[in-house]
Structure 1
């Protein structure tokens, strides 16, 4: 079955989501974990303690957070497995709809990317 990474991007420093979103997400994730779709995932702390290693033209540099230029950050991630790409896309839309319903005042980008199974594997 194809595997996917889900990412949630949002503006940093916008505060905590409402309790209703936490409750809706607990239910959503619990159902998917029980069915074997949700393999792992979680929220991420802000960029204040983040570390980037940048390789540019063969030179390595380290850049520590916080990043003043960052407007949008990855706030959460998930590892998912679905029978098909269509199932994954439909379920990612449900995930995004939970955010629209329970936290409408923020802009959230829910991204779904299929995980490559190697250089010779074609995406479904």
Structure 2
């Protein structure tokens, strides 16, 4: 089963300067372990929300909004796609992802199963 993990964080509570070199080294080791285990399908960090855009549709009409936007309380900072045998296994990998961030980060992982074609 495939699972998507969305990493949510409050930009105001993230450490200045972003992830430390130590965090990136530990993350690299975890990603390598996940790849060797055949669990990791894809992962990536996202540019700040102000660099993106939003397309809204209402009443059949689309509106395009380009950043920068007002500061959001919480944004998606990254994602990962897992291939696991169960939701519990996906949650365990997500927990390890979060643990690497240590005490400096206030971060949440939302893990959801990907709908597969019938």
* TM-score bucket (shorter structure): 0.7 to 0.9
**Structure 2 unaligned residues grouped into runs of 5+:** none
What is the rounded CA distance, in whole Å, between the counterparts of 1:32 and 1:68 in structure 2?
A: 36
CA distance in 1, matches of 2:9, 2:89: 24
Q: Distance in 2 between matches of 1:78 and 1:84?
A: 16
2:85 aligned with 1:83: yes
| Structure-2-length-normalised TM-score | 0.87
Partners in 1 of 2:82 and 2:96 — Cα distance?
14
Which residue is equivalent to 2:36? 34
Task: Give me the whole-angstrom Cα distance separating, in 2, the residues matched to 1:56 and 1:69.
Answer: 23
CA 69–57 in structure 1, closer or farther in 2 if over 3 Å, else same = farther
Q: Write out per-residue CA displacement over residues 46-81 of structure 1, whole angstroms, 9 at most, x where no aligned residue.
A: 123201100122221011112104121111111110
What SS does the corresponding residue of 2:5 show, helix, strand or coil? strand
- Partner SS state of residue 94, structure 2: helix
**What's the counterpart of residue 96 of structure 1?**
98
Looking at structure 1, the residues matched to 56 and 114 of structure 2 have their Cα atoms a distance apart, in angstroms, of 23
Q: How many residues align?
A: 115
Unaligned segments of structure 1, at least 5 residues: none
Separation in 2, partners of 1:39, 1:5 = 10
Runs of 4+ residues deviating >4 angstroms: none
Can you list the C-alpha shifts for 1:68-123, whole angstroms capped at 9, x where unaligned? Answer: 04121111111110011121112211221112x2xx233111111110113x5xxx
Give SS of 2:100's match.
helix
- 2:26 — aligned with what? 24
| C-alpha RMSD over aligned residues | 1.6
- Write the distance in 1 (CA, Å) between the matches of 2:69 and 2:108: 19
